[in-house]
Amino acid sequence: MEVITVKTSRRIQMIDITAEVESVVRKSGIQNGIVVVFIPHTTAAITVNENADPSVKHDLEEFSKELVPHNWRWTHGEGNSDSHFKSSMFGPSLTLIVENGRIALGTWQGIIFAEFDGPRTRKVWIQVIGA
Ligand code: ZN
């Protein structure tokens, strides 16, 4: 397993980590198979979405705040229940196809790390498995 570090700078923040994950796949030498990307945190997540127009990441950040408000009737004492909820909404892992040494993604797709309780230093666990 490879581990990469992501430093976030805002409470809610979408960060494109496609290049970092591609680099792990390249280093593995595996040409065809799958790559599993897992987030070992309860207030962050991972997703695939558009990485061409930055307004998409901005909208994901802003609407997630509206959809799951920080101030609600949460009971969890740490004051970050909205972060836990957002983390579960987006999910902790991705399984992607590796083909000819590259991650198979649609033209506009990128791998996006979703921070929901930043700023923090986060880990991303990556395992590349040959077919
Ligand atoms: Zn908590």
pLDDT tens per residue across span 58-114: 999 999 999 999 999 999 999 999 999 999 999 999 999 999 999 999 999 999 999
If you measure from the C-alpha of residue 67 to the centroid of ligand 1, how many angstroms do you get, rounded to a whole number? 18
Kindly give the distance from the C-alpha atom of residue 85 to the centroid of ligand 1, in angstroms, as a whole number: 10
Confidence of residue 130 (pLDDT cuts 50, 70, 90): very high
d(C-alpha 84, C-alpha 44), whole Å: 8
What is the pLDDT confidence band of residue 19, given thresholds at 50, 70 and 90? Answer: very high
Quote the CA–CA distance of 124 and 3 in Å, as a whole number. Answer: 6
pTM for this entry: 0.97
Neighbours of 106 (CB within 10 A): 8
Task: Give the torsion through C-alpha atoms of 82, 88, 90, 91, to 10 deg.
Answer: 150
Class of CATH domain 2-130: mainly beta
Residue 43 Cα to ligand 1 midpoint, Å, equals 7
β 33-38/44-50 pair status: unpaired
The strand pair at 102-103 and 33-38 is best described as unpaired
